[in-house]
Amino acid sequence: MAFFSLREFIDKIDAMGELTRIPRRVSPILEISEITDRVSKQPDGGKALLFEDVEGSAMPVLINAFGSWKRMCAALEVASLDNIAREMEKFLKIAPPQSWLDKAKLLPLLLEASNFPPRMVSTAPCQEVVHTGDAVDLTRLPILQCWPNDAGRFITYPIVINRSVDRKIRNVGLYRMQVYDKNTTAMHWHIHKDGAHFFHEFKRQNRRMEVAVAIGADPATCYSASAPLPYGVDEFLLAGFLRKKAVPLVKCKTVQLEVPANAEIVLEGYIDPNEMRLEGPFGDHTGYYSQDGDYPVFHVTAITYRKNPIYLTTIVGIPPQEDYYLGKATERIFLPLLKMQWPEVVDMNMPLEGVFHNCVIVSIDKRYPMQARRLMSALWGAGQMSFVKIIVVVDAGSVSVHDEDAVLKLLLNEVDPDRDLFFSEGILDVLNHASDRALYGSKLGIDLTRPVEGEAPRTPPVAPETLADAAALERSVTERFPEVKNARLMCAGTKRPVLLLAFDKTQPGQSQEFLKQVLHDSDFNAAAIFCLFEAHVDLTDPSRVLWKLYNNLDPRRDCIRHEDRFGIDLSRKHPEEGYTQDWPEEILMSDNIRRQVDQRWTELFPE
């Protein structure tokens, strides 16, 4: 049975032992974020948290609701997310009926599909309480400030609903909303998103754009708002497919839009296309603060909500966080669509540290020369896959795309740089800070598939000289170069051992000059790849190392080669090096909040 509402889902995960209720009073200013960040980084994503007493509001706060495999599967009512993919394939692969018997066989599927489109209702729980005009007051909501350098409080899980200027297409998306005062917020939609596209349509016609925002709908609707659907496909239709039951919608009170009838809270209002305001910075899902910028202003004309509403929210930051599981759901659910367009695709993995748009590993059933490179080029031109910075292609059956250690070993043992590395250039996510210019930069394709007839043979690397003592190598580089604060040898058993370096960069060009020096120095021949990080990076934490690599890399600029050895410069870049963006700061919680949560931990989570 489909979940009727968010609170039914809360009852479900509570019964599963996947919910922790916290009755102690907590602050929405940083404290909830610090508590949640710690819990979300526990094994298997920790528990969902229901804060029942939040300073400044009568509403409880639900967070980390979808932050585990168990809860994500429960939200979509499946034992495995791959079950949804198989169900989707069933509809995608319907063959045209050739006879009356074929048509009769289709009838059950057609009857099932008739339940997917949303349906209108006349009354709704989300409108049990209605505030309009001067009664509108966003300060009644327990809206979080997530991180110390955030510009203020942000609504982080808003299901934003609008229509195209001709009203033919509905868009439902997740766009963060900075609260300015009691009845206005920012509307932060990135330049490539459908919401921004619709906004520019209204701006060209100098017309107000109506917008509605639902907070805390049923879990399938909450997920669907995050899904990267093709332009023009209604997200409520996807939610109906996932629920196997139509999403009930109700007309808003002050705008001509429809919202999920069972939502906890709804904001109604409009955007004046001639009004822009500075929004941000904000600690984003990359683990860095996104830059501030001018965005449209959302004027709230009504707030409606259930009696005793629950405020659903989330935080994003250095992974893992709750959004990882939402992203992995998208990876599994949309794999059939990828296979439908490129039948050679067998499986795909978006690694945790790649924060969705920095790395994708794809396996294929290879049949002809240059097929892997063709697929890379195709993906870089396809929807949100076009933002991906690194694509790795492997043979299906040779290695699992989900065994990232095995993929890394394959790369270090087999890749032929002259044959297998493919540099390109294209658009990048607006949150990518590594490229010299915003919104576009270089990309890297890595072909790890076996050569087939018609392709040049692969020349595998030659193993470096035998290393007797890894610690001696690490010690020698730190003793010889005082700017190297730490060194760690990784993958010593492969043909390309990797030396990680924590480097104190004090001037432009210093990191590149250092890498050129060590690449030409025979004293360090035992290492084949030198990865240079900022001085504070913990080289003993593989996940943090990969997260830094994916985030800070501009492939063409940062990869330096000498013969068969490589240096990779992952340091902060400067304007004198041709860098024109503002390099962002990592998200870190303030010391006083960390100490405060340390002191309260046993009170909040008694044994």
Residue 311 CB partners (closer than 8 Å, separation 6+): 57, 59, 60, 61, 62, 141, 142, 143, 215, 216, 264, 265
Amino acid at 42: Q
The question of whether 418 is a catalytic residue gets the answer no
User: 117 Cβ partners below 8 Å, 6+ apart?
Assistant: 234, 236, 237, 240, 246
Q: Are 29 and 141 in contact (CB under 8 A)?
A: no
The CA-based diameter of the chain, rounded to the nearest angstrom, is 81
User: What is d(CA 357, CA 470) in angstroms, rounded to the nearest whole number?
Assistant: 34
Spell out the long-range contacts of 421-428 with Cβ–Cβ below 8 A and sequence spacing 24 or more: 421/445, 421/446, 421/447, 422/373, 422/376, 422/446, 422/447, 423/555, 423/556, 424/376, 424/377, 424/380, 425/556, 426/380, 426/381, 426/386, 427/192, 427/386, 427/387, 428/357, 428/387, 428/389
d(CA 438, CA 1): 46
Question: Do the bridges between strand 209-215 and strand 159-163 make them parallel or antiparallel, or are there none, so unpaired?
Answer: antiparallel
Cβ atoms of 414 and 448 within 8 Å: the answer is yes
Q: How far apart are CA 407 and CA 399, in angstroms?
A: 7
For residues 214 and 161, the answer to whether their CB atoms sit within 8 Å is yes
Residues 6+ apart with CB under 8 A from 215: 141, 155, 157, 158, 159, 263, 264, 265, 266, 267, 311, 312
15 Cβ neighbours under 8 A, 6+ residues apart: none
Directed axis angle between helix 100-113 and helix 81-92, to 10°?
140
Q: Which is catalytic among the residues 284, 429, 554, 558?
A: 284
The tally of CA atoms less than 13 A away on the side-chain side of residue 446 is 21
Q: What angle do CA 125, 129, 135 make, to 5 degrees?
A: 150
Evaluate whether 389 touches 432 at the Cβ level (below 8 Å). Answer: yes
Cα–Cα distance, 473 to 470 (Å, whole number): 5
Residues found in the chain: 607
The runs of H, that is alpha helices, within 206-314 are 219-224, 235-243
Coil/strand/helix, residue 233:
coil
Q: Using CA atoms, how far apart are residues 61 and 177, in angstroms rounded to an integer?
A: 17
Helices (H), 432-553: 470-480, 510-519, 542-552
For the annotated catalytic residues, the residue numbers are 284
